[in-house]
Amino acid sequence: MSTISPEIQALGENFRGELVHPGEPSYDDVRKVWNGSIDRRPGVVARCTGVADIRSALAYARRTGGPVAVRGGGHSFPGHSTCDGGVVLDLSLLKGIRVDPVRRTARAQAGVLLGELDRETQAFGLATPSGIVTHTGLSGLTLGGGIGWLMRKYGLSIDNLISVDVVTAEGELVTASEDVNADLFWGIRGGGGNFGVVTEFEFRLHPVGPIVYAGLVAWPMDQSPDLMRFYRDWITDVPDELTTAVIHRWLPDTPTIPAELHGRPVVAVVACYAGPVEDGEKAVAPLKAFAPPLLDTIIPKPYLDLQSMLDPSFPHGRWYYMRACDVAELTDEVIDIAAARGLAIDSPYTAYPIFHLGGAISQVPSDSTAFGGRGSGHTINFVGVTLGPEGFEEQREWVRDSWRAMEPHQSGVYVNFLTDEGTDRIRSAYGAATYDRLVALKRKYDPGNLFHLNQNIPPL
Ligand code: FAD
């Protein structure tokens, strides 16, 4: 039996949700995050049911001075949504979603996962840009920017944000939008969880699908240098409706992939055309004609199927390590490094996507949100994966070697793909001018740095 401190007892008197302490039967379940390599033991997990609970938990954190971790979907690669000691503000019970099909907007609470929002919006043939794995949290993804299969047509998740409700470090509930608390709204769009706990998001929606021309086409990995050179030329004038990523990996052992291809090293292109299927067929035809593929699943399919296509590759509980960077272009050197790092993969789980950015992302002025990568051509994330601790160090080495090989060519990094890499890297994710503006905002909204378990912008 654990002893419950008087402070936690006092919190319990003012809390509607569930407070889970060490020693309770559900403690090991609720303290878990997506990345199995992160194993931390919070002093209490505060499973909030609303703003009042969030304010109570923040008051507790201020009183006790312990760390406070804020958890939406729990998918932070470096495990920022949990802590040793202190309190985890677990927002996963906040699942409300309201779609307004007439105004084409949606309100979603902080515990909503991407697939849950897509399901509600697709009921009306609508969607807002989000990420590529359905069990990722909408909160953390949006606050860092939010890249995904609709981004070149409709921008980042933050480019579709209309307003947010935020509980500040002092426990005040404020709305932020272009018209109200505009400075906070600027910072929330890319600045992560530095400024408060977002309780609700309001998004603009667009007509998408429900059938889109999308999927994956794959060739043997040793064709990567040729494929990537072809791809580089091809994407120079593809329409913004088309978002693609090149992926190097071994084909996974999943039911949608023929058994004879399981474990086959491939270079693949994932594509999504956010427009009429016939236009998508035309846009993707040159890619399909590059060379006879091993596998081609780019066909008309429900947008929801595309969104869940990569879920089996990123299940909860595996051990993950990631390093990432942006590159301005796919130069010959970048392509040769990318191909060599693909051929050096020696695990069925390790993989790395190179996302094509540009399009609508680059049309938003850089200083209108805190997101730092508007001018980047591509964003790469090297992801080393194992089933558990065995072999994890070797996969981490592959990730570090890959990142070091790409380092001379990098042009920045997407903040949601950072691991714990220090202040200089966070600064380079934003660029100096944006970073300085974020520091000033942090001084205004969280001068005590209560929210420091994140890609932290210290208020100094
Ligand atoms: P959590 O771990 O819950 O939170 C991460 C951090 O966000 C917290 O530490 C906190 O600082 C902050 N935070 C979370 N919720 C709130 C809140 N309500 N208020 C204030 N701060 C909060 N990113 C993309 O852009 N596109 C992708 O396609 C994509 N795919 C991914 C797929 C997988 C499998 C994974 C693991 C990550 C992916 N990411 C992607 C990165 C993702 O955006 C980040 O990991 C993000 O932090 C996940 O959000 P979350 O709510 O699940 O994270």
Whether 11 is covered by a domain: the verdict is: yes
249 and 389 housed in the same domain: yes
Residue that is written with structure tokens 């693909």 in the block: 342
Q: Does residue 456 fall inside a structural domain?
A: no
Co-location of 276 and 356 in the same domain: yes
Judge if the beta carbon of residue 110 lies within 6 A of ligand 1.
Answer: yes
- Here the tokens at position 307 are 């969104």
User: Is the Cβ–Cβ distance between 248 and 406 less than 8 Å?
Assistant: no
Q: Could you identify the atom of ligand 1 that is nearest to the CA of residue 157?
A: 25
72 lines ligand 1 (CB under 6 A): yes
Do 276 and 203 share a structural domain?
A: no
Does residue 192's CB lie within 6 angstroms of at least one atom of ligand 1?
Answer: yes
- State the amino acid at position 105 in one-letter form: T
Bridging pattern class, strands 18-20 and 68-71: unpaired
Weakest-pLDDT range from 8-12, 121-125, 140-144: 8-12
- The alpha carbon of 74 and the centre of ligand 1 are apart by a number of angstroms equal to 7
Number of domains in the chain: 3
d(CA 11, CA 56): 7
Instruction: Using the predicted structure, report yes or no on whether residue 1 has a pLDDT greater than 60.
Output: no
Confidence of residue 255 (pLDDT cuts 50, 70, 90): confident
* Together in a domain, 84 and 13: yes
Model confidence pLDDT, tens digit, residues 316-373: 999 999 999 999 999 999 999 999 999 999 999 999 999 999 999 999 999 999 999 9
Q: How far is the CA of 239 from the centre of ligand 1 (A)?
A: 29
Q: Do 153 and 193 fall into the same domain?
A: yes
DSSP 360-416: HHHHS-GGGSS---TT-SEEEEEEEEESSSTTHHHHHHHHHHHHHHHGGGEEE--GG
pLDDT at position 2, please?
A: 56
Index of the ligand 1 atom closest to the CA of residue 110? 18
The CATH number of the domain where 67 resides is what?
A: 3.30.43.10
- Cα angle vertex 449, ends 443, 452, to 5°? 130
The answer to which of 95-104, 227-236, 239-248, 249-258 has the lowest mean pLDDT is: 249-258
373 close to ligand 1 (CB < 6 Angstrom): no
Backbone torsions φ then ψ of 372, nearest 5 degrees: -95, -10
pLDDT value for 38:
98
454 lines ligand 1 (CB under 6 A): yes
**Ligand 1 atom, smallest distance to 144 CA:** 43
Distance 285 CA to ligand 1 centre (A): 34
116 and 203 inside one domain: yes
| CA–centroid distance, residue 17 to ligand 1 (Å) | 23
353 lines ligand 1 (CB under 6 A): no
Look up the CATH number of the domain holding residue 225. 3.40.462.20
Write the residue with the smallest CA distance to atom 41 of ligand 1: 416
Residues 131 and 244 in one domain: no
Q: 141 CB less than 6 Å from ligand 1?
A: yes
Amino acid 351: pLDDT: 95
- What's the CATH number where 134 sits? 3.30.465.10
Whether residue 256 sits in one domain with residue 117: no
Residue 190 domain flag: yes
Pick the last residue of a domain from 90, 115, 132.
Answer: 90
In a domain, 318, yes or no: yes
The residue among 90, 112, 138 that closes a domain is: 90
Range of the domain at 199: 97-207+436-445
Q: Is residue 423, in this structure, part of any structural domain at all?
A: no
Among 57, 72, 90, where does a domain finish? 90
- Both 327 and 362 in one domain: the answer is yes
Is residue 181 included in any domain, yes or no?
Answer: yes
Mean pLDDT over each residue of the chain, to the nearest integer: 97
pLDDT digits (tens, 9 = 90+) for 129-163: 999 999 999 999 999 999 999 999 999 999 999 99
Please tell me the predicted confidence (pLDDT) of residue 25.
96
Q: Is ligand 1 within 6 A of the CB of residue 431?
A: no
Atom of ligand 1 nearest to the CA of 196: 20
Q: Both 227 and 132 in a single domain?
A: no
Pocket test for ligand 1, best of 35, 81, 376, 385 (most atoms within 8 A of CB): 81
426 lies in a domain?
Answer: no
Percent of the chain with pLDDT over 70: 99
Instruction: Kindly state whether residue 428 falls inside one of the protein's structural domains.
Output: no
pLDDT in tens, 201-217: 999 999 999 999 999 99
How many whole angstroms from 139 Cα to the centroid of ligand 1? 6
Q: Left if phi > 0, otherwise alpha if psi is -120 to 50, otherwise beta: which for 431?
A: left
Q: What share of the chain is helix, strand, coil (3-state, %, to 5)?
A: 35, 25, 40
Tens digits of residue pLDDT in 34-73: 999 999 999 999 999 999 999 999 999 999 998 999 999 9
Q: Identify whether residues 140 and 253 lie together within a single domain.
A: no
Which pLDDT does position 8 carry in this prediction?
87
282/271 Cα distance (integer angstroms): 13
153 and 111 in a common domain: yes
Q: pTM value?
A: 0.97
Q: What is the mean pLDDT of residues 79-98?
A: 98
